[in-house]
Amino acid sequence: MTVNSLLYGYMVDELDYPDKKVIIEEGSIGDWVYVVLEGRVKVKKKTAKGFVTLFTLEEGGIFGEIPLFLKRDRVRTTTIQADGPVKVGILDTARLDREFELLSPQLKGLIKTLARRFSETVDNVGRLASA
Amino acid sequence: MDTKDKAHLKISLKYGKGDLIMKEGDYGVSIYKVNKGHVRVSQQQGEMDVALASLGPGEIFGEMAFLNKAVETRSASVRAMDDVELEVMHPKILSSEYEGMPPILRYITNQTLNRLARMNKMYTQLLKKTELTKARDLREPETNKRQYYRKPLHQACVYRPVRGSGKVRLEGQITDISVGGVGMDVSAGNTLKIPHEPGDEFAIHTTLPNGREVDLVGKIRGVAKTSTPGRLKLGMQFTGLNGESSKTLGFFMMS
């Protein structure tokens, strides 16, 4: 996966994070959508027995997109942590939001279902991982 | 009839509680929107039917086969949880809408979709692991009946807990032995040093009357008082005997 010109067209800012730095904290409020430009990040879930790494994102990987689709709350469901020094891009959330709202109700319904099922499944994984 | 005309054909379906709407492994491309009621999405994992999600009004299913072109068959089964009304959506229409949406949204959605598939997999694997442990715990009571011939014995032994404090060395007497477990007579004082609760696992070392040394591992099935004050009787079930010990014990039992 590489970061293509498509994403650069939506980018409003770039940020650098050192290794291990937390970029998004689970439970915090926010709706920025990010893309990994250089390096890697870990997506983690808090459990009763500490953090579980769910997956790793590399260049081109999007994170923080769930609130864009689900709207109803903007509480972050996972923690995103730099895995080595990383450069991330911040995408134009307002523009993404406008374009999402223009989709047909069917397509919006489909994407919302995916997003809801994703965060629900992540919660279930977190519960089981600490069992 | 082109796809535009089909868009005006709204097909709706009704199901009753428990009805199977979609079957994992079947071929199918239709996408369904829940208009009324709730459905349960599940996946078969060996013997188990693992619930992945429950979906309500406004939510969509059947999308995996459509979005993930590599998947041709249904990745999950869907059942009605109550009175359900569904709207069937023509995959071609949704497909052209999907292709026509701003590329960046398609790019993001594809990632969400792949991660959902991945999380479903992680979830079912974790669940399988938990269920296996549960199933093993449930089966145990059936296997704890020591139906084997028990040989009376009066042999000193030393034992220590398998987990935790490695330096502890407790002493006891083996009163009977079988290929399934041992009966032990120990001082009640031992329980002050180390808990002796059903389920606690101990490594036991003894010398059999034939002079052969043997290492046994077993867990407590029961603790009872004996007629002698200050002495306890432990019923132990073997949990892990190595090949050498099994052989030694088997040989001794036959003699």
Predicted confidence (pLDDT) per residue in A49-107, tens digit: 899 999 999 999 999 999 999 886 788 989 999 999 999 999 999 999 999 999 998 88
pLDDT in tens, B2-49: 444 444 567 889 999 999 999 988 887 788 999 999 999 998 877 778
Q: What is the pLDDT of residue B252?
A: 83
Q: Which residues in B have their CB inside 8 Å of a CB on A?
A: 31, 33, 52-53, 55, 58-61, 63, 89, 93-94, 97-98, 101-105, 107-109, 111-113, 115-116, 118-120, 122-123, 126-127, 130
Chain-chain contact of B112 with A111 (C-beta, under 8 angstroms): yes
Confidence check: pLDDT of B144 > 50? no
The strands making up B84-89's β-sheet, listed across from edge to edge, are B11-15, B84-89, B31-36, B60-61
Q: What is the pLDDT of residue B141?
A: 45
Q: What is the pLDDT of residue B4?
A: 46
Chain-chain contact of A65 with B52 (C-beta, under 8 angstroms): no
Confidence grade of residue A35 (pLDDT, cut at 50, 70, 90): very high
Q: What is the pLDDT of residue B165?
A: 61
DSSP state at residue B18:
T
Looking up tokens 């030694």, which residue turns up? B248
Nearest chain B residue (CA) to A7: B104
**Rounded percentage of chain B residues whose pLDDT exceeds 70:** 86
Q: What is the pLDDT of residue B162?
A: 87
Nearest CA among B115, B111, B21, B255 for reference residue A120: B115
Q: What is the pLDDT of residue B69?
A: 61
- Encode B124-141: b = buried (16+ Cβ within 10 Å), e = exposed: bebbeeeeeeeeeeeeee
Q: What is the largest CA-CA distance in chain B?
A: 93
Nearest chain B residue (CA) to A120: B53
pLDDT in tens, B182-207: 999 999 888 888 888 888 899 999 99
Q: Report whether A59 contacts A1 (CB < 8 A).
A: yes
Confidence check: pLDDT of B134 > 70? no
pLDDT in tens, B150-166: 788 888 999 998 887 66
Closest to B94 (Cβ–Cβ): which among A100, A106, A125? A106
Closest to A7 (Cβ–Cβ): which among B98, B104, B118? B104
Q: Which of B130-139, B150-159, B210-219 has the lowest mean pLDDT?
A: B130-139
Which residues of chain A are within 8 Å of residue B61 when distances are taken between CB atoms? 113
- Identify from A1, A117, A118 which residue to disrupt to test chain B contact, counting B C-beta atoms within 10 A and taking the largest count: A117
Confidence grade of residue B65 (pLDDT, cut at 50, 70, 90): low
Does the ipTM surpass 0.90?
yes
- Encode A79-102: b = buried (16+ Cβ within 10 Å), e = exposed: bbbbbeebbbbbbbbeebbeebee
